[in-house]
A = this chain, B = another copy of it.
Amino acid sequence: MQSEKRLTGLTFIEQARRRQILDGAAQVIVELGYANASLVRIGEAIGSSKGGVLYHFPDKNALVGALVLDIYQRGAATIAAAVREAGDSAGARLRAYILANLAFTASHRIEAMALVELSSGYRSPDGRRLDEVMRHWLEDPGRSTEERAELAALDLVPLVRQGVESGEFRASLDPDSVATALRGAVDAAASRWARDPGFDPEAYGRELADFADHACRRVR
């Protein structure tokens, strides 16, 4: 039965191989930097050859695209869920956002670091940065509403704004600035961890959540 062997057009072993390649790519990118993450090295990382890699992805750009999208989706899914479950309070939602982010970083060390590496190291063939390219991908009309919703959940601005409007957060807070700052603080974990293996992302998450709480919450 085709339906048993295939899922979204790919056989299971094909999917497994792609998974393996994506993992290998992430690893090499983290280890050597995106600039030095050649197809040969990615191939070697999974005990294969550059040809083997290119058999499963049309070109390097597609491979990186798949990798980024994969990490984003996995991350967005868990983070969106955590925020959803946190209830209506902006404070609780913000805390959940931060904790979930750093829990994801903790449990997906390589992936999180790879994302950081790519977010400033990657340029598309026509010279655009990852953010810009991502925006195009996300606007892909083939993307489902749920996916869109989850990816949108990564945006902190509405969350902060809600807190301000509900009076839970200080009125003088600028949602845009706060979002930028917190996103920066969250992303800092991966690079910090990269240069300091003893770093504990989840502990950092708890500290950061408290920090953000004190910074945002209206003084009673």
Contact = CB atoms under 8 A, between A and B. Distances in A.
Interface in A163-195: 170, 172-174, 177-178, 180-189, 191-192, 194-195
Interface residues of A, number: 48
A178 B36 contact: no
A212 interface: yes
Contacts of A180: 185, 188-189, 192, 204
A7 interface: no
B195 A129 contact: yes
A35 to B, nearest CB: 5
Interface in A109-134: 116-117, 119-123, 127, 129, 131-132
A208 interface: yes
Interface in A182-220: 182-189, 191-192, 194-195, 203-204, 207-208, 210-212, 214-216, 219
26 contacts: A32-B123, A34-B35, A35-B121, A36-B127, A116-B120, A117-B120, A119-B120, A120-B120, A131-B191, A131-B195, A170-B214, A172-B210, A174-B207, A177-B203, A180-B188, A180-B189, A181-B188, A181-B207, A181-B211, A183-B188, A184-B185, A184-B187, A184-B189, A185-B185, A185-B188, A219-B219
